[in-house]
């Protein structure tokens, strides 16, 4: 064999399937806007406009039949309350929310993986407010007091194929 | 050089692909070819056609995963042998290799195996002898460690041939990996929705992974990840044009752009379970039962939505029958109360029977799921720009003014998605493409 070729390679190529890592982000507030009775979409847009004009970034926007909910940084809570009060909508702002991120490579290609992570989280009796996903992770919004319980539930699965 | 199904589908397309290989050789490279099965869904030797041959025997009997892998691997074997012979007819000696012969070792998960190692010694020998190696994509061999001679043939699941191409490139320390297909590269949107959608000249691995996750049919994230981890330049090119294609790079080489593109998924069905009938303390076990059942049947979920009074998600339409089958009529007894699941507005005969029978035993409550059929998910994909104030507003306002009905939304660090009626999908894609100036992006 010519020696300039790499030979005898046994390289690790792909990440192990399954959960590889769990982490959490703290300091969020959950905003619920509800009881919009007429012109629902226009009202939602008006609220979002107020939030955007204040330069506040939001995550996990979800529509409900008569409103919506979203997450902001907890340190923006007071500003959000002012903005929403100004729009005249019915709302609530709940501090003490965190995001738990469960990493699993190619999460959608692993059949049932997303449902499995959710089911495991629910088993801890943590209340999941919202869920989002990326190609390599599931993001779940839970109360900060529940974070350790959820994270610990996944710790044994870390780096297990 | 990896060639997808359409690049090896006909004699003419194989000639076009083979000429690419020969040109590379004439430029002084030592090409190694990876091929997919011949043609796409419906073609005689395509993977789906081969699977259908088994299902046609008896729909009620699930094929054994081991036998299924042996069967579907035939598609790539045929393709590799025919491609190697095509090269020979053009005056270039070539050798076809099964995945195992090419040294690809996998774990033992039939139908969705992962590569654990590659020893490409046989390919180096083939090159030394003046051949062009042609490797079957999508397959490898699992050596169980129980002394079984030869090992077990496995297939790599979704994106398998792209993964073979990238992994082989990494193992052989290739100059680059080129994925050949029938489009010019990674585009800002599906050209069927946006005519003239530009081809992106560079995208980051993160961008390509996210747009693939959200429905775009480009290089598979598994392949991108392998190339990224091994520092191998990865290209997506068109077999049939001279377009320069798209280079997939790290963020150190290219910071990415505010918005990469607009993607859409296939057809979805959205289910929203109303939990207001449930006692407060019963909601957790009910949700747990829903997701446990879905997980057991391997259904993929999109657009997850959880609120105090409901939980919902979208499933691919081709998996909806499974969901209906396992959840409609499902009975969950909790503390003397009996919950019966109903999927859809009108109760099925099974639900009516369950309610009638169980009513004699105790209090029966229905958990009804409202169905929205014929919807699809449209996503705006980018980097941290998605977190900027006002981006979600811009998306919703644009769609509202364009009279697109937004049924639900979801977001992540790199994307914002909306669930819209299928009939409004292409309009939604066009509106967002225009609003975020993607026609000008390169």
User: Would you tell me how many other CB atoms lie within 10 Å of the CB of residue B287?
Assistant: 22
Counting other chains too, the contacts that A145-154 makes at CB distance below 8 Å and 24 or more residues apart are: A145/A96, A147/A24, A147/A26, A147/A98, A147/A100, A149/A124, A149/A125, A150/A100, A150/A121, A150/A124, A150/A126, A151/A22, A151/A23, A151/A24, A151/A100, A153/A120, A153/A121, A153/A123, A153/A124, A154/A19, A154/A22, A154/A102, A154/A117, A154/A120
The two most distant CA atoms of chain A are separated, in Å, by 79
A113 to chain B, minimum CA–CA distance in Å? 7
Rounded-to-integer distance, Cα B58 and Cα B135, Å: 33
Are B441 and B257 contacting, i.e. CB atoms less than 8 angstroms apart? Answer: yes
Buried b (16+ CB within 10 A) or exposed e, B224-235: bbbbbbbebebb
* pLDDT (tens digit per residue) in A58-67: 999 998 888 9
Provide, as residue numbers in chain B, all residues whose Cβ is less than 8 Å from the Cβ of A11.
117-118, 170-171, 230
Q: Which residues of B touch A112 (CB under 8 A)?
A: 294-299
Q: Would the pLDDT of A159 be above 70?
A: no
Query: Any CB–CB contact under 8 A between A125 and chain B?
Result: yes
In the numeric block, the tokens 């499902």 are attached to B330
pLDDT at B325: 92
Please name the residue of chain B whose CA is at the shortest distance from the CA of residue A3: B124
Distance, in Å, from the CA atom of B347 to the CA atom of B340, rounded to the nearest integer, reads: 10
Torsion angles phi and psi, residue B103, rounded to 5: 90, 15
Contact criterion met (CB < 8 Å) for A62 and B307 = yes
pLDDT, residue A7, reads 37
User: Would you state the pLDDT for residue A160?
Assistant: 44
Q: Is A57 on the interface with B (CB under 8 A)?
A: yes
d(CA B420, CA B377): 6
Contact at CB, A109 and B115, closer than 8 angstroms:
no
B353 is written with which tokens? 């029977």
Question: How far is residue B113's CA from residue B93's CA, in Å, rounded to a whole number?
Answer: 31
Residue A74 and residue A27 in contact, taking contact as beta carbons nearer than 8 Å: yes
- Alpha-carbon torsion (B375, B220, B233, B249), positive or negative: positive
Partner B contacted by A14 (CB < 8 A): yes
**Contact of B161 with B76, CB cutoff 8 Å:** yes
Strands B177-181 and B2-3: parallel
Please tell me which of the candidates A11, A51, A132 has its beta carbon nearest to residue B117.
A11
- The pLDDT, as a whole number, for residue A158 is 59
Q: Which residue of A has its CA nearest to B207?
A: A135
Contact A14 B411 (CB under 8 A): no
Cβ distance A52 to B400 less than 8 Å, yes or no, reads no
Is residue A105 less than 8 Å (CB to CB) from chain B?
Answer: yes
Longest dimension (CA), chain B: 82
Question: What secondary structure letter does DSSP report for B181?
Answer: E
Cβ–Cβ < 8 Å for B269, B317: yes
Residues from chain A that touch B372, judged by Cβ atoms under 8 A, are: none
**DSSP per-residue codes, B381-399:** EESGGGGSTTHHHHHHHHH
CA distances from B391 to A52, B147, B235, B385, B394 (A): 8, 58, 30, 8, 5
CA distance B292 to chain A (A): 6
Contact predicate A106/B221, CB 8 Å: yes
| Residue of A11, A13, A71 to mutate, interface with B, max B Cβ within 10 Å | A13
Q: Do B301 and A14 touch (CB under 8 A)?
A: no
Distance CA A148, CA A126 (A): 10
**pLDDT tens digits, A97-128:** 999 999 988 787 777 888 889 888 988 878 88
- CA dist., res. B381 & res. B206, Å (int): 10
Which of helix, strand or coil describes residue B426?
A: helix
Burial class of residue B305, CB neighbours in 10 A (0-12, 13-18, 19+): buried
Q: Distance from CA of residue B112 to its chain's centroid?
A: 12
Percentage, residues of chain A above pLDDT 90? 55
Instruction: Flag whether pLDDT at A157 surpasses 70.
Output: no
Q: Please say whether the beta carbons of B271 and B317 come within 8 A.
A: no
Distances B66 to B79, B152, B302 between C-alpha atoms, Å: 21, 8, 29
ipTM of this complex > 0.90? no
* Alpha carbon A115 to its chain's center: 15
Task: Give contacts of A 59-88 with B, CB under 8 A.
Answer: 59-64, 69
Helix (H) or strand (E) holding B310: strand B310-316
Rounded-to-integer distance, Cα A125 and Cα A128, Å? 9
pLDDT at B187: 94
Residuewise pLDDT in 10s, chain B (442 residues)? 999 999 999 999 999 999 999 999 999 999 999 999 997 777 887 878 888 888 889 888 888 999 999 999 999 999 999 999 999 999 999 999 999 999 999 988 899 898 989 999 999 999 999 999 999 999 999 988 776 777 899 999 878 999 999 999 999 999 999 999 999 999 999 999 999 999 999 998 888 888 888 888 788 888 888 888 888 899 999 999 999 999 998 888 887 778 999 999 989 999 999 998 898 888 888 998 999 898 888 888 888 888 778 889 999 998 899 999 999 999 999 988 999 999 988 898 888 888 888 888 888 999 999 999 999 999 999 877 777 889 999 999 999 999 999 999 988 888 899 999 999 999 999 999 999 999 987 7
Structure confidence at residue B320 (pLDDT)? 93
Asked if A40 reaches chain B (Cβ–Cβ under 8 Å), the answer is no
* CA geometry: angle A140, A146, A152, nearest 5 deg: 85
Mean pLDDT computed over A11-29: 83
Cα separation, A146 vs B425, in Å, equals 38
User: CB B301 to CB A129 under 8 A?
Assistant: no
Name the pLDDT band for A161 (thresholds 50, 70, 90).
very low
Looking at residue A112, its pLDDT comes to 83
* Residue among A1, A52, A87, A106 with most chain B CBs within 10 A, to mutate: A106
Q: How many angstroms separate the CA of residue B53 from the nearest CA in chain A?
A: 23
Tokens representing residue B245 in the block: 């294609």
Is A116 in Cβ contact with B295 (below 8 Å)? yes
Q: Please give the pLDDT value at position A10.
A: 43
Which residues of chain A have a CB within 8 Å of the CB of B229? 13
Tell me what pLDDT residue A4 has. 41
Q: A42-52: per-residue pLDDT in tens?
A: 999 999 999 99
Q: Determine the number of helices (DSSP H) and then strands (DSSP E) in chain B.
A: 12, 21
């Amino acid at each position: 064999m010519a020696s300039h070729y790499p030979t005898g390679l046994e390289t690790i190529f792909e990440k192990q399937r399954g959960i590889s890592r769990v982490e959490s982000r703290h300091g969020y507030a959950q905003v619920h806007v509800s009881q919009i009775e007429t012109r629902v979409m226009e009202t939602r847009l008006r609220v979002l406009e107020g939030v955007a004009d204040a330069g506040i970034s939001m995550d996990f926007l979800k529509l409900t039949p008569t409103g919506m909910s979203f997450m902001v940084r907890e340190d923006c809570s007071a500003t959000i309350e002012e903005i929403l009060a100004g729009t005249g909508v019915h709302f609530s702002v709940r501090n003490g929310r965190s995001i738990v991120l469960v990493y699993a490579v190619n999460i959608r290609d692993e059949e049932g993986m997303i449902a499995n992570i959710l089911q495991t989280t629910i088993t801890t009796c943590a209340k999941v407010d919202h869920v989002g996903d990326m190609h390599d992770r599931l993001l779940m919004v839970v109360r900060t007091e529940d974070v350790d319980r959820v994270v610990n539930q996944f710790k044994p699965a870390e780096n297990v194929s | 050089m990896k060639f997808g199904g359409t690049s090896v589908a006909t004699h003419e397309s194989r000639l076009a692909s083979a000429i690419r290989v020969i040109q590379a050789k004439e430029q002084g490279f030592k090409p190694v070819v990876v091929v997919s099965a011949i043609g796409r869904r419906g073609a005689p030797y395509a993977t789906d056609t081969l699977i259908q041959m088994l299902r046609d025997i008896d729909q009620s009997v699930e094929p054994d995963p081991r036998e299924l892998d042996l069967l579907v691997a035939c598609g790539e074997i045929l393709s590799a042998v025919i491609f190697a012979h095509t090269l020979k007819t053009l005056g270039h000696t070539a050798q076809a290799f099964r995945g195992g012969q090419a040294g690809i070792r996998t774990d033992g998960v039939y139908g969705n195996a992962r590569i654990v190692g590659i020893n490409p010694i046989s390919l180096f020998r083939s090159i030394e002898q003046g051949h062009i190696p042609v490797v079957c994509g999508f397959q490898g061999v699992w050596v169980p460690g129980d002394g079984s001679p030869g090992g077990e043939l496995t297939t790599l699941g979704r994106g398998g041939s792209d993964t073979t191409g990238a992994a082989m490139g990494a193992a052989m320390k290739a100059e680059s990996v080129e994925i050949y297909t029938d489009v010019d590269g990674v585009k800002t949107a599906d050209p069927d929705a946006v005519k003239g959608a530009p081809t992106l000249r560079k995208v980051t691995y993160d961008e390509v992974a996210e747009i693939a996750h959200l429905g775009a049919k480009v290089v598979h994230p598994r392949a991108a990840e392998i190339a990224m981890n091994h520092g191998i330049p990865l290209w997506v090119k068109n077999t049939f044009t001279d377009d320069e294609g798209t280079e997939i790079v790290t963020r150190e080489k290219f910071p990415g752009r505010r918005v990469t593109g607009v993607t859409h998924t296939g057809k979805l069905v959205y289910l929203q379970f109303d939990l207001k009938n449930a006692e407060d303390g019963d909601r957790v076990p009910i949700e747990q039962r829903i997701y446990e059942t879905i997980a057991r049947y391997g259904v993929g979920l999109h657009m997850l939505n959880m609120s105090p009074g409901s939980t919902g998600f979208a499933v691919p339409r081709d998996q909806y029958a499974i969901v209906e089958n396992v959840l409609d009529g499902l009975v969950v007894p909790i503390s003397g109360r009996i919950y019966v699941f109903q999927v859809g507005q009108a109760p099925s005969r099974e639900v009516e029977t369950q309610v009638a029978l169980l009513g004699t035993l105790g209090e029966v409550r229905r958990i009804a799921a409202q169905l929205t059929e014929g919807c699809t998910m449209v996503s705006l994909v980018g980097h941290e720009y998605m977190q900027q104030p006002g981006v979600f507003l811009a998306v919703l306002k644009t769609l509202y003014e364009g009279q697109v009905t937004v049924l639900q939304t979801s977001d992540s660090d790199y994307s914002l998605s909306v669930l819209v009626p299928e009939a409004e999908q292409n309009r939604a894609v066009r509106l967002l493409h225009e609003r975020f100036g993607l026609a000008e992006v390169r």
